[in-house]
A and B are shown apart, each in its own frame.
Chain A
């Protein structure tokens, strides 16, 4: 069962450095989401793509954050000039849309970012 895959699982970086995370969705899924989760909280929406188009970005996504999905398959999330407040679990999810109702999001196991 090839679910959503995220790489790396853990990343420790120093403040001010840039980091990039990768997400490989379930192959036939056309929607891809990024969420951020801090300890004791539910996941918070960051952005989503339908195929290669980025359709919505949260206000949480500052200009230091950029996400891409160039070929409508895998996606990358880059954080520039990391800050300690960026420390969190970054979750990727995918779904197959086109019908009604919406389909559930399937999540990967996340990338745990620690900024020191």
Chain B
């Protein structure tokens, strides 16, 4: 089955710096990836997604990079703000695109 993992459980950054959160996946047939943000006591919130026919996608202050060769994706947050403090999950669609499999998550802490 699909497994999704993250390299670091906790990431601390200074306010205003850029943040990079990494994620590895195991199934080379995976073709749709999503990043979610989860604040304490809330459900996961959609941030950005990317298909396997792309290697980069940009949103507002966020960029997702996909490297299919090494089965790795990353989330870059520009000019990190205190409101970005949360747990970030990468998730991949499996089962013919019918369900999301989540990684363990990275806790992002923004220091003032």
What is the size, in residues, of chain A's interface with B at 8 Å between Cβ atoms?
23
Residue numbers in B under 8 Å from A105 (CB-CB): 34, 46, 100
Residue numbers in B under 8 Å from A42 (CB-CB): 4, 89, 91, 102-105
Residue numbers in B under 8 Å from A43 (CB-CB): 44, 89, 100, 102
Give residues of chain A (63-109) contacting chain B, Cβ–Cβ below 8 Å: 91, 93, 100-102, 104-109
Total cross-chain contacts (CB, 8 A): 57
Q: How far, in whole Å, are A108 and B46 apart by their CA atoms in the complex?
A: 11
A104/B43 contact (C-beta < 8 A), A33-B99, A44-B102, A45-B100 known: no
Residue numbers in B under 8 Å from A91 (CB-CB): 43-44
Residue numbers in B under 8 Å from A41 (CB-CB): 104-105
- Residue ID in chain A nearest B42 by CB atoms: A109
Q: Chain B, interface size: which category?
A: 20 to 34
Residue numbers in A under 8 Å from B49 (CB-CB): 104
Smallest distance from the beta carbon of A81 to chain B beta carbons, Å? Answer: 27
Residue in B46, B91, B98 whose CB lies within 8 Å of A48: B98
Give per-residue flags for A12-47: 1 if the beta carbon is below 8 A from chain B beta carbons, else 0: 000000000000000000000100000011111100
Residue numbers in B under 8 Å from A101 (CB-CB): 31-32, 51, 97
Residue numbers in B under 8 Å from A33 (CB-CB): 99-100
Seed contacts A105-B46, A109-B42; 14 additional CB < 8 Å A-B pairs: A42-B91, A42-B103, A42-B104, A45-B99, A45-B101, A55-B98, A56-B95, A101-B31, A101-B51, A102-B32, A102-B97, A106-B46, A108-B43, A110-B43
